[in-house]
Amino acid sequence: MDIEQLKQYILCYSLNNCPLGNQGFNRVLIQLMGYLGHGKSSLINSCKYALHDKEFTTHAASGSADGGLTTVRNAYPLTHTITMVDNRGCATLNSFETGEFYTQLANFVPLNTGVEWTKEFDDVLNRLEDSDIEPNFSDIIVPVYVYSVKREIADNEVAELKTFLKTCRDLTGIFPIIVLTHKTSGPFSKFRDIFEGMGAEEIFSVENYTQEDNLKTLGRHLQFLNLIHKVLLNVNFRMSEERNPRKERAERKKFLHKFFHEREVKK
């Protein structure tokens, strides 16, 4: 599709038009994850800029390469159906940080609330139980992992990151889409090979628009529109089979209980 066709497809997208209808879902959440300062907030600004084609605006505040600004799971709607979700960047991807990401991907964390690396077992369980007061069954979450090619991946990180990405896939039914940022500042082809070795199915390399560099070009706009389009293709594929939102949420809750119990035993 050309750029105008991509825009129209995204702007008019509705879960009602999926092969079996919406099946109880009404929103697509594009959940961003990754390390501090790797470009998650800038990616949101870039996607909104490419889709709505207005003057560049800083919707999500972005930080420097060594420390992000986001501490809240902020929601940024792209359309009535599609919302991008910013996230607090992690520092080491330890079990406390991954536990928070899993809880979000399982849809047990409200949007626009602070992100904390919860360490106490009782606090975690109370949080899960509190979420059942007003449970959310209606979001389809697509995980997107953002990584800057400016940062090397240590050998000991590869196995941990591979496990993390696979768990995200098991929770959502979609393997995380990888977005490599700062593509002109490092060997992005090297990182593409590394993430492919982890099982990644979709990898995008982008140069985010910024306040200092926001000259619109066809190639950059297409990068971000194709990313959103790929998210929706993954949703369509998952929605081509029968779904039960309540049952799926219950299964995700079982996973979280097991994960946090095992984490507590190891601690």
The pair of structure tokens assigned to 221 is: 């706009």
The model's pLDDT over 98-132, given as tens digits with 9 standing for 90+, comes to: 888 898 898 888 887 776 766 676 777 777 787 87
Query: Where do the domains of the chain lie, and which CATH numbers do they carry?
Result: 3-266 (3.40.50.300)
Percent of the chain with pLDDT over 90: 64
Q: What is the pLDDT of residue 64?
A: 47
Q: What is the pLDDT of residue 117?
A: 62
Q: What is the pLDDT of residue 68?
A: 54
Q: What is the pLDDT of residue 69?
A: 57
Q: What is the pLDDT of residue 224?
A: 98
Q: What is the pLDDT of residue 195?
A: 96
Note the pTM of the prediction, 2 decimals.
0.92
134: confidence class by pLDDT, cuts 50, 70, 90? confident
